[in-house]
Structure 1
C-alpha cells in the first residue's frame, strides 16, 4: 500500500499516477486484446491463401482445391463448414498446406474464444523448423496474442523481443505486446519509448499507430514528431 501523501502536491501527483495507470490498462483491456483477437482469423486466412497461391502452379490438385474451398468458407464466415477440410489438411504431407490449415483453425478457435486450442494450433506452426520463417513468426505473434492475459510479462517480452525491433515486419504487433507487458509488470518507463517508436513508424498499420499515439500520450512520452 502506498504511504500517505506528505502534502497536497504529493497527494495530487499520486492520484494523477493512479488515474493514468487506470486509463492505460483500461485502454488496453477495452481495445488491444479485442482488436488482436478479431484480426486473428483474417490474418491466418490471408497467410494461408498467399502461401497456397505461391505454390499453386507446382502443387495444383485436390489438396489445393480443398484449401481453396475451406478459405472460401472461412471468408463467408462459415467456420463450421470449413473445419472438416482444414482438419484433414493438417495431416497433409505438404508442409505449406499443413501450416495454412493450422493457422486457419487457430483463428477459428480464437474467434470462438477457445484460447487454449488456438494457442496450440499456432504453437504447432511456430515450432515447425521446416516452415518458412515469416509463417512461423506470424504464428508466434498469434499464439502470444491469445495467451497474453495468462502469460507472465517477462515471457511475452522474451518471446517477442526479436520481432519487436524497428525494421521488423512485425514491429507494430510485437512491439505493442512487449510494451503492454512492460506496463503489466509496472514498468511504464520501459513501455513509453516503445509506444512512441511505434507511433512514429509509418510502416506500422494505422490502427496500431493510433493506439500507440494515445497510450504514449497517457504516459507523457513524446511521439517523435507525429
Structure 2
C-alpha cells in the first residue's frame, strides 16, 4: 500500500511538472517582455530627460550670450536669432525680446511681439496671460478690445486676475467712471489673490483718488515724487501715485507710471 501511494505521488508530481513546463513554454515570454518593457521604458525616459535638460541648458546659454550685447538693437537681433526648443521657450524669448524693445522706447513693437507670442499654440495659460497683460500695460489696444482682454484676464482663478483688475480700475478712472474704479480697487484690497504690494498700491490709489487727484501718464524714463499739498491725503510711500505741489486738491494730478506694476507682474509669475 505504501509503495502504491509513493508511486501515485511521483506520477502526480511528474504530471504537475510537465504542466508547469508547458505553461512556461507557452506563456513564459510574457514576463520576459514585461521586464524588457520596464527596463526599456526607464532608459527611454532617462534619455528624454537628458535631451530636454541639454536643450534647456543650450537655450539658457544662448539667451545669456544674446543679452550680453552692447546696445538694445544688438540684443534684440541676437535674441531673434536664438533657436527655440519649445512653445514655452518661445514665449519666454518673446518676453525678453519685448522687454528689450520697451527699454529701447519701442513699446508698440514690444506689445506686438507679446501678442504674437500669446497666440502661439501649446503655450501654458500662465505665460499667455502674462504676455497679454504686459502687452496691455506697454501699449494698450483700443478701449473696447483692451477691456475685453483684461476682463478675460481678470476671470476668477486666472493667474494674474488681481493685476488685470488693477488695470481695469485705472482704465475706468481714466474714462471718468471714478466710482467703478474705486470699487475695483477696494475689491483688490480685500482679494486673497492680490499680493501685499498690490493691496498696498490699491489702498494708496484709493486715498489719492478720493482726495480729488487726477490720473495722468507719467514719463516712462523717470517718475519723480514731489511733495503734495498738506490738504491732500496722499501718502509719501505710494510708488505709483504722484501729486504735483503746483496744483490744488481739486486739480491735483496722479501720474501712474506704465511700468509700475511690472515688478508685481514678475513676482506673480514666480509665485505661479
Alignment TM-score, normalising by the size of structure 2: 0.51
State the match for 1:198 in structure 2: 188
State the match for 2:138 in structure 1: 146
Once the two structures are superposed, residues 2-56 of structure 1 have per-residue CA deviations (whole angstroms, 9 ceiling, x without a partner) of: xxxxxxxxxxxxxxxxxxxxxxxxxxxxxxxxxxxxxxxxxxxxxxxxxxxxx97
CA 1:59 to 1:207, structure 2 compared with 1: closer, same or farther past 3 Å? same
1:60 corresponds to 2:50: no
CA 1:104 to 1:56, structure 2 compared with 1: closer, same or farther past 3 Å? farther
Quote how far apart the aligned CAs of 1:161 are: 0.5
State the match for 2:153 in structure 1: 163
Q: Count residues in correspondence.
A: 164
Is the deviation greater in 107-116 or in 77-86?
Answer: 77-86
Structure having the higher helix fraction is 1
Once the two structures are superposed, residues 60-102 of structure 1 have per-residue CA deviations (whole angstroms, 9 ceiling, x without a partner) of: 336642433424764999866643442123x535322222211
- Higher CA-based Rg: 2
Which secondary structure does the structure 2 equivalent of 1:195 belong to? helix
Contact 1:195 1:213 in 2 (8 A): yes
State the match for 1:37 in structure 2: none
Once the two structures are superposed, residues 158-182 of structure 1 have per-residue CA deviations (whole angstroms, 9 ceiling, x without a partner) of: 1110222454321232111111111
Contact 1:195 1:212 in 2 (8 A): yes
Contact 1:160 1:178 in 2 (8 A): yes
Is the deviation greater in 70-79 or in 166-175?
Answer: 70-79
1:102 corresponds to 2:100: no
Contact 2:101 2:107 in 1 (8 A): yes
Contact 2:129 2:159 in 1 (8 A): no
Q: Within 1, Cα distance between the matches of 2:116 and 2:155?
A: 24
CA 1:210 to 1:76, structure 2 compared with 1: closer, same or farther past 3 Å? farther
Q: Which runs of 5+ in 2 are unaligned?
A: 1-47, 212-272
CA RMSD of aligned residues (A): 3.1
1:215 corresponds to 2:215: no
Q: Within 1, Cα distance between the matches of 2:52 and 2:77?
A: 21
Contact 2:136 2:146 in 1 (8 A): yes
Q: Within 2, Cα distance between the matches of 1:143 and 1:177?
A: 12
Q: Which runs of 5+ in 1 are unaligned?
A: 1-54, 222-226
Paired residue for 1:125, among 112, 117, 132? 117
Q: Which of 1 and 2 has higher RCO (CA within 8 Å, sep 6+)?
A: 1
Is the deviation greater in 178-187 or in 199-208?
Answer: 199-208
Q: Within 1, Cα distance between the matches of 2:154 and 2:64?
A: 30
How is 1:45-56 mapped onto 2 (pairs within 5 angstroms)?
Answer: none
